[in-house]
Structure 1
Amino acid sequence: MKATHQIKRGVSLYSYQYETFLRKMTLDDCIAHAAGLGAKGIEVLAEQSFTSFPEVPQAQIDGWFASLERHGAYAQCHDMFLDTKLYKHRKLSFDEMVASMQRDLHFAHKLGCKTMRIIVNTPPEVVVACVPLAEKLDIRMGIEVHSPFHFDHPWILRYTELTRATGSDHVGYIPDMGMYTKNYPRVFRDRFLRLGATPAIVDFILEAHAARVLTDYLLMDIRKMGANPVDLQMAETTRHNIWSNPRRMLEFMPWIFHIHAKFYEIDDSGKEPAIPYEEIIPVLIEGGYTGHLSSEYEGQRHIEDAFEVDGREQVRRQHEMFKRLLGEV
């Protein structure tokens, strides 16, 4: 029986980063593959998909719209980045950060995107300053709540405090499902083993992750076990692969309008071994979420040293899983 919900499916073209970098897929190929899976909402990273960003030739913009129309897809989300650290050997000023973000809002509008992902390191004061333009362009800005951040992290709470005070419905959240890493990713484990991690220490790290041991304590423990540099590097990854309760999204659901459906692999059984989508999607349905589940495949960087990367197959598998969990099949 079909589940009652209005959740839509999409793909972040970041999922095809490997194939794009190696020139195995063009922008049109990426859009065609996503749309062919029934994932019509396209999320784009300008730096990946267009040359000379932010001065993108009009011919490329025209090609973007032609590809969307040809494949029956539509522009859904633009991912912005903000370099807050160094610009000509100094930090960006507040006004420069606002100008950078306003530039991205205009570019998102130019692409036809109604949503813009705000990179998590963006100061909330900068987001607030951009609310009037976002409202004028009718683009919803969502900070990416990305591991190791979560909805109760002080940075996100500060963002909530300042943006809610605007009273605007054009600012909210884009949760990244990487903050729901219940099991340590197998592709991480296997790569560290190939790099020379100590098997006994790897097992210890896996047990510590399952027990939610703080990373600093884990590092102290494995140093006493004689950890080598690769072991220490593996332990550090537990800091960024956190498990947060997906039900925490329910309180924030009125302000959640896009989901980064992060995944590292979909195995032969059709499941993501690390991120329990069978627990996550029912929460989204319960909360009345009406936005997109946007595929974000990031397993390629953990297997490319030993295996042929096939982002297309992994994205296909994730959407088969989505269709099953969303009641489409």
Structure 2
Amino acid sequence: MSLQYGVSLYSYTGDMYTLLTLDDAMAEIADLGATGIEILGEGNVPGYPAPTTAWIDSWHALLDRHGLTATNYGSWIDSRMWQHRDLTVDEGVAILHRDLGLAATLGFTTVRPKIGVVSMDLTPHPIWEQVVERSLDRAAELGIVICPEIHAPTPIRHQVVDDYLTFIERTGTDHFRLLIDTGIFQRAATFAKHAGLSDEAQEEGWRKPLAVPMSDLVAVLPYVAFVQAKFFGITDDLTDPQIPWPEIVATLVTHGYDGYLSSEYEGDRDPYRGVEQVRRQHALLRSLEAGLR
């Protein structure tokens, strides 16, 4: 078994608006030797949530042309859509069902629902459990796995993750799993400037490192459907000052993970920097995997 490699279009944020077309981005991904492409529904689908038939046809044509597989589709269930009230369970179900359908139409096999949170440690709004449970049959019909993201500042050993695992055990479902964002393994701060962050967040150096140990990843790996390979910058000599890739890759390979590592670059957004950084990351990851085989 080997790791599979992909790229999130989020890695090319900025370039996608001014320098790269979707065709260009897919060509870049294919040229890496990667096979997977990950998108954010609201950010990457023109006319979301109802793209034209022509766009859907062009999407599939581009996948075929570049030999790519649609991997993970990012969805939002905005529990605070309204200022005067929270989203209801019925409304959340409608949103998730809609995005599951669009994801299936575009060929995706996993959907990451980003549900509104109620605390700074990213505890999801209480509607999450009913929304997901009422969507499991729909996900099964479409052949999709719903996988919430374990993202800093939430570590693996946390009530949020415990609740997800309890849900899996209680329902016995094969259509709800975890998505691991490798930012939780970050060991050092990064001072990359990132659009949309508050001054306070910028001064703190983006996100504070959680340094989640590899043993915690091993414990949940049987429940992991997808890995977003979050990173902030790879140096000229192909090292990462923040994310411990040698340990991550060794853990995944040793314990039989054969799913996707999908690049998610969140460093400086200078023109073409995302393109170059993703290339560096793939060179690093592949060299590490090759050294273990």
RMSD across aligned C-alpha pairs, in angstroms?
2.2
| 1:254 maps to which of 219, 222, 239 | 222
Alpha-carbon separation, structure 2, partners of 1:118 and 1:231: 27
1:260-316 superposed Cα distances (whole Å, 9 cap, x missing partner): 000111110101110010111101112211100000011135xx4xxx452111111
Q: CA deviation at 1:30?
A: 1.0
Structure 2 residue ranges without an equivalent (≥5): 117-123
Partners of 2:42 and 2:206 lie apart in 1 by 26
- Quick check: 2:114–2:149 contact (8 Å CA) kept in 1? yes
Assess, with a 3 A threshold, how the Cα gap between structure 1 residues 231 and 72 changes in structure 2: closer, same or farther. Answer: closer
Contact 2:189 2:205 in 1 (8 A): no
Q: How far apart are 1:124 and its partner, in Å?
A: 3.0
Moved more, 155-164 or 286-295: 155-164
Partner of 2:109: 114
Q: Which deviations, in whole Å up to 9, do the C-alpha atoms of 1:1-37 show, x marking residues without a partner?
A: xxxx321101111111111122x11111111110110
Q: Under a length normalisation based on structure 1, what TM-score does the superposition of the two structures give? A: 0.79
Equivalent residues of 2:192, 2:206 under 8 A apart = no
> CA separation of 1:89/1:21 partners in 2, compared to 1, >3 Å: closer, same or farther?
farther
**Residue by residue, what CA displacement relative to the aligned partner does 1:233-264 show, whole Å, maximum 9, x if unpaired?**
6238555x321112211121111121000011
Corresponding residue for 2:146? Answer: 141
1:131 and 2:136 are equivalent in the alignment: yes
Q: With structure 2 as the length reference, what TM-score do the two structures score?
A: 0.89
Of 259, 262, 273, the residue aligned with 1:310 is 273
Give matches, 1:1-329, under 5 Å. 5-22=1-18, 24-87=19-82, 89-119=84-114, 121=116, 123-187=128-192, 234-235=203-204, 237-239=206-208, 241-301=209-269, 304=270, 308-327=271-290
| 8 Å Cα contact 1:125-1:162 kept in structure 2 | no
Structure 2 residue matching 1:75: 3-state secondary structure = strand
**Contact 1:76/1:115 (8 A) holds in 2:** yes
Provide the rounded CA distance (Å) in 2 between the counterparts of 1:52 and 1:283.
Answer: 40
Q: Distance in 1 between matches of 2:130 and 2:156?
A: 18
Paired with 1:20 and 1:232, the residues of 2 have a C-alpha distance of 25
AA paired with 1:322? L
Kept in 2, the 8 Å contact 1:259–1:292? The answer is yes
| Alignment: residue pair count | 279
More helix by percentage: 1
Q: Percentage identity across aligned positions?
A: 35
Query: Does the C-alpha gap of structure 1 residues 119 and 231 become closer, same or farther in structure 2, counting only changes over 3 Å?
Result: closer
| Residue aligning to 2:120 | none
Query: What amino acid does structure 1 have at the position aligned with 2:247?
Result: E
Distance 1:258 1:88, change over 3 A: same
> Residues 83-121 of structure 1, C-alpha deviation per residue, up to 9 Å, x if partnerless?
111237432111101110111111110001111122264
Note if contact 1:128-1:163 (Cα within 8 Å) is conserved in structure 2: no
| 1:110-140 per-position Cα deviation (integer Å, ceiling 9, x unaligned) | 0011111222645233222211111111101
| Bigger mean CA offset, 101-110 vs 116-125 | 116-125
Unaligned segments of structure 1, at least 5 residues: 192-228
Q: Deviations over 1:49-91 (max 9, x none)?
A: 2212001111111111111111111111111112111237432
SS of equivalent to 1:97: helix
CA distance in 2, matches of 1:42, 1:16: 12
Tell which structure's C-alpha radius of gyration is larger.
1
Greater mean alpha carbon deviation, residues 156-165 or residues 77-86: 156-165
